[in-house]
Amino acid sequence: MEIIFSTLINGLSLGGIYAMIALGYTMVYGIAKMLNFAHGDVIMIGGYLIYVFMATNNPLLAIILSVIGCMILGITIEKVAYKPLRGASPLAVLITAIGVSYLLQSLAQIIFGSATKMVTVYEFGAIKLFGTTIQVSALVTLGVTVAVMTLLTLFVKCTRLGRAMIAVSEDRAAAQLMGINVNAIITITFAIGSALAALAGLFYLLKAPAVSNTMGAMPGIKAFTAAVIGGIGSIPGAMLGGILLGVVESISYKITAIAPYTDAIEFSILIIILLVRPTGFLGKKRREKV
């Protein structure tokens, strides 16, 4: 029972991080119709920004500056690399995104060196809960994730800007005809996605106080998987997919015999789910037009 509880908490907090990253993927996909492969590396930049700004010794300030820095980075990437390609083949945009990803990684290595940087943001310690010891940071991660997602859902559902985003993702041309500034919406989407990535970077630092230039690559891929499991383009889907993937990963690492196969198991789940539901759990079916 204790094992189930602790595994579940660990899985949920990891899943929360995945969900946070997956949200960035899914929103950008929904609105700009592109796979932003550089999204994982924004997490890494967020981590490095916290590392840099922790020189102020003020965790809150460092976090805020890191989130702002990532938003600026996200907007810059969008303006410089993706905007000129709007209207070009999606594959060209995909390749550019990959180029941006390599660019960010190598820039980080040039600036910060190849060694992993250690940075402790804040120590929460551990508590005893239901007979098992649990990292408080896991609970914090879980709590903040739930809060952020609730806010985001409310934002999208209830504000004018949020509804404009839905409109753009539904039908860009029609939204434009209705007087929505599509360019501004895309910029805002990138900013929100990057802010979430910065938060994900923060949660990684709370779990494991280390920043390296490749830290964003695999979480990026996993979160992308999560976004697709949930149905890419769907915000609740990204949350569902992220949480599911986190719990599965946690359980799989728990069982010694299958632990080495964890990645294979996660990706197999993706394939199986897509076979049963070809657009993920909550993805919308696109109607085919001739």
Partner 1 sequence: MRLGKFKINHYINYMVIGALLLVLGGMTLAGNRFDNSLLFLLEKMAIGIILAVSLSLVVGFLGELSLGHAGFMCVGAYLGGKVASLLVPTMGNGLAAFAISLVVGAAAAAVCGIIIGIPALRLRGDYLAIVTLAFGEIVKTLFQNTSDESFGGTLGLDTPRYDKKYLFIIAFVLVLVTLAIVQNFIRSKHGRAVTAIRDNEIAAKATGINVTKYKLIAFITSAALAGVAGVLYSYSNYTVQSAKFDYNYSIEILVMVVLGGMGSINGAIVAAALITWLNTWLPTVLTGPMAVLQNLLYALILIVIVVYGNAPALKGFRDKYNLNALVNRFRKADPSHIHDDEAKWNVIPTKISMDEILSVDMTPQDKQEYGGDK
Partner 2 sequence: MKTTRIIAIALCLTMCLGLLAGCGGKNDYTANNTEFVIGVSGPLTGGAAIYGTAVANAAQIAVDEINAAGGLNGVKFKFIAMDDKHDATLVSGNYSAMLEQGMQVSLGTVTTAPGMEFKNLAKDDNVFFLTPSATGDKIPEFDNGYQMCFADGNQGKVAAEFVNANFAGQTIGAFYKSDEDYSKGIFTQFMSSLDKSVTVVETSFTEAGATDFSTQIDTLKNCKFIFMPIYYQPATLFLTQAKDIFGADVVYYGCDGFDGIDSQEGFDINTIPQKVTMLSHFNSKATEGAAKEFIDKYVAKHGSDTLNQFGASAYDCVYAIYGAMKKAIDEGEKIDVTISASDLCDILKAQFSGGYTLTNGATGAEIKWESNGYVNKAAIQYIIKEANG
Return residues touching partner 1 (CB under 8 A). Answer: 29, 33, 35, 81, 83-92, 94-96, 98-103, 105-107, 109-110, 114, 160, 164, 171-173, 176, 178-185, 221, 224-225, 228, 232, 260-261, 263-264, 267-268, 270-271, 274-275, 278-280, 286, 288-290
Grouping H, G, I as helix, E, B as strand and the rest as coil, residue 116 is coil
CB of residue 106 to partner 2, shortest distance in Å: 7
268-277 residues labelled b (16+ CB within 10 A) or e (exposed): ebbeebeeee
Q: Which is nearer to partner 1, 8 or 182 (CB)?
A: 182
The item of partner 2, partner 1, none sharing an interface with residue 98, based on CB under 5 to 8 Å by kind, is partner 1
How far is CA 151 from each of CA 124, 156, 242, rounded to the nearest angstrom?
24, 9, 17
Instruction: Report how far residue 173's alpha carbon sits from residue 182's, in angstroms, rounded to the nearest whole number.
Output: 9
Establish if 59 lies at the interface with partner 2 (CB under 8 A): no
The item of partner 1, partner 2, none sharing an interface with residue 228, based on CB under 5 to 8 Å by kind, is partner 1
Sequence-distant (≥ 6) Cβ neighbours of residue 38 within 8 angstroms = 77, 97, 98, 100, 101, 104
User: For residue 37, what are its two tokens?
Assistant: 């492969």
Grouping H, G, I as helix, E, B as strand and the rest as coil, residue 210 is strand
Options 1, 3, 177, 275; binder of partner 2; rule CB under 8 A:
3
CB of residue 110 to partner 2, shortest distance in Å: 10
The item of partner 1, partner 2, none sharing an interface with residue 204, based on CB under 5 to 8 Å by kind, is partner 2
Cα torsion through 135, 138, 140, 142, rounded to 10: -150
The item of partner 1, partner 2, none sharing an interface with residue 179, based on CB under 5 to 8 Å by kind, is partner 1
